[in-house]
Amino acid sequence: MGRRILFFLLTNVLVLTTIMIVLSVFGITTGIDLNTGAVNIPMLLTYSAVIGFAGSFISLAMSRWMAKKMMKVRVLNPDDQLSPYERSIVEKVHRFSRSAGLTVMPEVGIYHSQEVNAFATGPSKRSSLVAVSTGLLNSMDEDAVEGVIAHEVAHIANGDMVTMTLLQGVVNTFVVFFSRIAALVASRFVKQELQGVVYFVSGILFNILFSILGSIVVMAFSRYREFHADAGGADLAGKDKMIHALQSLQHHVNRIDTEQAAIATLKISNKAGISRLFSSHPDLNERIRRLQAK
């Protein structure tokens, strides 16, 4: 799974669950009467939308901070003493960012990992981060690295994290709504004195379950946006470099063991079957084919 989406979804589930627990503890009304089993649909839907969009926007606000902490990203400050190679990475990100029309340059970082990976995240175009792994920098030539960085900058320029947040807010709304309904149904199967406890616990469990199912929709949107980021990367770095970057990634994928046949470089996944529903990125061969056809 791509880092950008992983951080966002993980934070979203944690934030959403925390909000629901806090509101339940303080007895905030949800439009459900546990005593009678009556459901006020408009009130419950409003409650769900407020929590759902609050959860997604809080997750967006935390995305850059969480990415830095989880991946131990070392931010490359242009004003610091950087090695020539580190400075070249910063200059590439800034050059593509200016070409993409960004007025505030993203933070640039490197994190230590053998995986061939890169990601972009952040709450807005003016507050973003592009990070690359040491594995990617050590495995790819200059043109391929430029293609990867251009792809990540394109994600920022396209505003993909914001559109992802809006979609996640809608998904969260239905997650909260149906988890409350399912929890109410579950509470009807126990005696009255246990209904409150069952409703509370099952509500949390259903929230996590439905969040996982809802991620299928989010992942489908992510796969769709990857094609746009590839096209944006081709516009910024050049079509040949973007194709070369993807072909380099394909070569790396072909070298790994079949038991590890999915690699998250530029959020790549070549998984087949039902697992593809949870893949944040489309098939690499299809991405190459679409770029070649442009």
The pTM of the full predicted model, rounded to 2 decimals, is 0.83
- What pLDDT, on the 0 to 100 scale, is given for residue 257? 44
Q: Please tell me the number of Cα atoms within 13 Å of 293 on its side-chain side.
A: 7
DSSP letters, 258-283, are GGG----GGG-----GGGGGG-SS--
- Range list of H helices, the chain: 3-25, 41-71, 84-99, 134-139, 142-157, 160-187, 192-237, 239-255, 284-293
Residue 1 clears pLDDT 70, i.e. is over it: no
Percent of the chain with pLDDT over 90: 54
- When comparing pLDDT for 266 and 36, which is higher? 36
> Cα–Cα distance between 99 and 228 in angstroms, integer?
16
Find tokens 């399912």 and name the residue.
Answer: 182
pLDDT band of 149, cuts 50, 70, 90: very high
For the ranges 91-100, 164-173, 212-221, 258-267, the lowest mean pLDDT is seen at: 258-267
Mind listing the pLDDT tens digit for each residue in 8-29?
777 777 787 788 777 777 666 6
Residue 268 clears pLDDT 60, i.e. is over it: no
Catalytic residues: 152
Averaged over 193-201, what is the pLDDT? 90
Mind listing the pLDDT tens digit for each residue in 154-190?
999 999 989 989 999 999 999 999 999 999 999 999 9
Spell 180-199 as b/e; 16+ CB within 10 A means b: bbbbbebbeeeeeeebeebb
What are φ and ψ of residue 157, in 5° steps?
Answer: -60, -30
- What pLDDT, on the 0 to 100 scale, is given for residue 2? 55
Query: What is the residue type of 265?
Result: T
Across the chain, what does the average pLDDT equal? 86
> Cα–Cα distance between 248 and 253 in angstroms, integer?
9
For the ranges 20-24, 222-226, 289-293, the lowest mean pLDDT is seen at: 20-24
Supply the DSSP symbol for 140. Answer: S
> Cα–Cα distance between 145 and 92 in angstroms, integer?
9
CB atoms under 10 Å from CB of 95, counted, come to 17
pLDDT band of 3, cuts 50, 70, 90: low
